[in-house]
Structure 1
């Protein structure tokens, strides 16, 4: 991914194969300060379908990136909560969700 330092908010989506190895392809999606449930619902469902069709037993790995040097923010927690809730509703298999900013990479 490269050194820390981000000029915009992005949601990175990767696939973890059934062998527990990260598939090299990562997709980035620009995001706002607040999660859009409808967009995230469609996105997670579509990504999970692609993962299962290409390698049954795969899961999704997500990373939120944004500018800043603070700790985990209320916005980060809101994103994490909404993503986790949608994943549970849709039976989407997620790995741990992380947040990276200009200073640190932390699990949510």
Structure 2
């Protein structure tokens, strides 16, 4: 949902909903929205969390700075490390959110990182959920045509 002067602000779900299971991309977006609270970010970060077999985001959120342009080495290294955590029993996938300053639409930078994370996850055998991006005005899914058929927890 993109905000504009005539639309109502994107409501922040109650933080208690962040611990509820999700089964669709819209529900995952709502979990991220509850976790992030008011929008507006001063740094470029990747937030990621593990998802269990029941579709719950595990309580520990992790951050990784995304200081420069999309970097394949960083994406590959992250997914390689995450592949050690994904065990298929307690943790089955990873949810990711890119946050950054600005009030613009999805940019090539956003798509570039999402594409790299998706490709690296495929190569490392890491199941990921749809990737989202948040800035000062909205929290939206970064569409990847190769991932459109991906199921969510």
Fold similarity call, TM over 0.5: yes
Q: CA RMSD in A?
A: 1.6
- TM-score between the two structures when normalised by the length of structure 2: 0.65
Does 1:25 pair with 2:60? yes
If you compute each CA radius of gyration, which structure gives the higher value, 1 or 2?
Answer: 2
Unaligned runs of 5+ in 2: 1-35, 143-153
**Structure (1 or 2) with the greater strand fraction:** 1
Cα offset, 1:48, TM superposition = 3.0
- Deviation for aligned residue 1:19: 1.0
Structure 1 gap segments, 5+ residues each: none
The number of equivalent residue pairs is 107
1:14-68 CA-to-partner distances (Å, cap 9, x unmatched) read 0110111111111011112312211221111212322328725x10000000000
- Where relative contact order (Cα < 8 A, 6+ residues apart) is larger, the structure is 1
Distance 1:104 1:38 in 2: 28
Is the CA contact 2:83–2:125 (under 8 Å) kept in the aligned structure 1? Answer: no
Contact (CA 8 Å) 1:48, 1:59: kept in 2 or not? no
Q: Is the 8 A contact 1:61 1:95 kept in 2?
A: yes
Is the 2:45–2:63 contact (alpha carbons within 8 Å) kept by the matching residues of 1? yes
Contact in 2 for aligned 1:33/1:75 (Cα 8 Å): no
Alpha-carbon deviation of 1:96?
0.5
Q: Tell me, in whole angstroms, the C-alpha distance in 2 between the residues paired with 1:17 and 1:92.
A: 13
